[in-house]
Amino acid sequence: MIKGIKGVKDILPEDTPRWRFIEETARRWADRYGFTEIRIPIFEVTALFARSIGATTDIVEKEMYTFPDRDGTSLTLRPEGTAGTVRAFVEHNRAAHPLPQKYFYIGPMFRHERPQAGRLRQFHQFGVEYFGTQDARADVDVMALLWRFLSDLALPDLTLEINSLGSSGDRAAYLPVLVSFLKGRQEKLCDNCRRRIETNPLRVLDCKVPTCRAATDDAPQLTAYLSPDAKGHFDQVLSGLAALGIPSQLNPRLVRGLDYYCLTAFEITSSHLGAQNAVGAGGRYDGLVELLGGPPTPAVGFAAGLERIAMMLPEQSLPASTPSVYVASFGSEGGPAGVQLLDALRRAGVSAQSDYRANTLKAHLRQADRAHCRFAVFLGDDEVRSGSTVVRNMDTKAQETVSLPDLPRYFLTVIQGS
Ligand code: HAM
Query: Which 8-state DSSP code applies to residue 335?
Result: H
- Of all protein residues, the one whose alpha carbon is nearest to atom 8 of ligand 1 is 305
Among candidate residues 117, 121, 57, 119, the one with its CA nearest the CA of residue 83: 57
Is residue 282 lining ligand 1, measured as CB closer than 6 Å? Answer: yes
Is residue 120 lining ligand 1, measured as CB closer than 6 Å? Answer: yes
CA of 125 to the centre of ligand 1 (A): 7
Q: For the segment 19-40, what is each residue's pLDDT rounded down to a tens digit?
A: 999 999 999 999 999 999 999 9
Q: For the segment 211-268, what is each residue's pLDDT rounded down to a tens digit?
A: 999 999 999 999 999 999 999 999 999 999 999 999 999 999 999 999 999 999 999 9
Is residue 305 lining ligand 1, measured as CB closer than 6 Å? Answer: yes
Is residue 201 lining ligand 1, measured as CB closer than 6 Å? Answer: no
- Of all protein residues, the one whose alpha carbon is nearest to atom 23 of ligand 1 is 305
Question: Rounded CA gap, 184 and 136, in Å?
Answer: 37
Is residue 307 lining ligand 1, measured as CB closer than 6 Å? Answer: yes
Query: Which 8-state DSSP code applies to residue 116?
Result: B
| pLDDT of the residue at 321 | 84
274 neighbors 312 (Cβ within 8 angstroms): no
- Which atom of ligand 1 lies at the shortest distance from residue 81's CA? 27
- Please check the confidence at residue 418 and state whether its pLDDT lies above 80: no
- Which atom of ligand 1 lies at the shortest distance from residue 279's CA? 12
| pLDDT of the residue at 275 | 79
Question: Rounded CA gap, 291 and 379, in Å?
Answer: 68
Q: For the segment 365-400, what is each residue's pLDDT rounded down to a tens digit?
A: 999 999 999 999 999 999 999 999 999 999 999 999
- Which atom of ligand 1 lies at the shortest distance from residue 120's CA? 20
> Which residues, in sequence order, are CB contacts of 230 under 8 Å at separation 6+?
164, 166, 167, 170, 263
CA of 186 to the centre of ligand 1 (A): 29
Question: Rounded CA gap, 290 and 168, in Å?
Answer: 14
Q: How confident is the model at residue 159 (pLDDT cuts 50, 70, 90)?
A: very high
Among candidate residues 208, 163, 168, 202, the one with its CA nearest the CA of residue 182: 202
Is residue 286 lining ligand 1, measured as CB closer than 6 Å? Answer: no
